A = this chain, B = another copy of it.
Amino acid sequence: MIDYRSDNTGRAAPQILEALVQANQGTALGYGGDDWTAALQRRFSELFETSVRVFPVATGTAANALALATLGPSWGIVYCSEVAHINTSEANATGFFGGGIKLAPIGGEHGKVSADLLAETLAGTSPAQLHRGKPAAVSLTQATDLGAVYRLDEIRAITEVAAHHGLRLHMDGARFANAVARLGCSPAELTWRSGIDIMSFGATKNGGALCDAIIVFSPDLADSLAVQLRRAGQVWSKMRFASAQLIAYVENGLWLEMAGASNKMAARIAAGLREIPAARLLAPVEANEIFLQLPSSAMDALEVDGFQFYRRSKTLARFVCRFDATEVEGDALLTALRSHLGTARASDAAE
């Protein structure tokens, strides 16, 4: 079996678990009053070149929903891509934690929000329209849910529009490491220097184990977030074991090393796909995910071959590369696809 199901089916980086084990010494004040959590604040403030507040949480869903709840009011509207994870895959956690916050999809390519379409939508709103709720925030998924990556100028175009209307900015960075590795920008450039107020900082999908984090760039948001996290049951009493994981995750560039490896594997496969005429990608492969339009028969055949992956529809398959995927696994997928698609044309995969 070769597993392309998700980056969360994979192992954790051994360094992260080793750090967790090393944190098991002596006693430490609970709920984040420990030395590891203090060090985490310093370490991430260095990484982001500004003073940030970092709150470890159990999952990306918690990070997204609670970050967005902080940007509310409860009658707020959060704009996002139609295919954003918050809109499709979190059981409306944002609506729940936000006390009724509504997600409003904005069009765009490859899982991105289009700055122009956002501007058009916002131009049609007015504070006097109580019956419409209040435009409150924009959420960008970086890398996107279709495996593309926002360029710096794309982010800035959106944050400008949002700022003009008094909206705040959230970044869902479940695969932020992949985006940073792809673009080579600094984490600061990709976030607060481009107008992001708060972000969900993913680790789990990129070699982490049991925690992600919320990073607060706009200090006014931190205090209300802290109490909401406590109420949400997202504040571990033995926080040191979470903070130690996150410190290890960024130590010596581990996070970018792992994201670089999974990006590279996806790029290798994408390069191979260019030589298979019948292989049609839904979006450019810029991170570690490949969305490939395939006939059902080809998907069946891949499964017989022992490949694991998700069928997003009858004609769409998703392949995700983990940080520890090997070239052998990548090449095996290409060989199999070549074999099953060799004589087909791209149009055969169309719905």
**Chain A residues proximal to chain B, CB less than 8 Å:** 3, 5-6, 8-12, 14, 17, 20-21, 24-31, 57-66, 73-75, 77, 88-93, 95-96, 99-103, 124, 130-134, 204-205, 208-211, 224, 226-228, 230-238, 241-242, 313, 322
Contacts and interface: CB of A to CB of B under 8 A. Distances in A.
Contact of A90 (B25, B62, B131, B209): B131
Nearest to A313: B124
Given A9-B29, A102-B95, A235 B59 contact: yes
A31 B57 CA distance: 16
B226 A130 contact: yes
B12 A28 contact: no
A174 to B, nearest CB: 10
Given A75-B228, A210-B210, 8 more contacts: A11-B26, A31-B130, A59-B233, A59-B237, A63-B233, A90-B233, A100-B231, A130-B235
Contact of A99 (B88, B96, B102, B230): B96
A57 B61 CA distance: 14
B89 A131 contact: yes
Nearest to A18: B21
Nearest to A308: B27
B224 A236 contact: no
A103 B104 CA distance: 10
Contacts of A8: 30-31, 237-238
A313 B322 CA distance: 48
Contacts of A235: 59, 61, 130
Contacts of A236: 58-59, 204, 210
A233 B57 contact: yes
A59 B99 CA distance: 21
Contacts of A242: 210
Most buried by B among A12, A134, A237: A237
Most buried by B among A75, A224, A228: A75
Given A11-B26, A92-B102, A204-B237, A75 B130 contact: no
A181 B196 CA distance: 51
A132 B210 contact: no
Given A11-B26, A228-B75, A132 B20 contact: no
Contact of A100 (B95, B211, B238): B95
B230 A61 contact: yes
Contacts of A134: 227
10 contacts: A12-B238, A14-B24, A17-B20, A21-B21, A62-B232, A64-B233, A65-B233, A74-B99, A91-B132, A205-B237
A228 B131 CA distance: 10
A33 B224 CA distance: 35
A322 to B, nearest CB: 8
Contacts of A59: 233-237
A232 B231 contact: no
Contacts of A65: 233
Most buried by B among A14, A65, A234, A322: A234
Most buried by B among A66, A75, A91: A91
Contacts of A26: 11
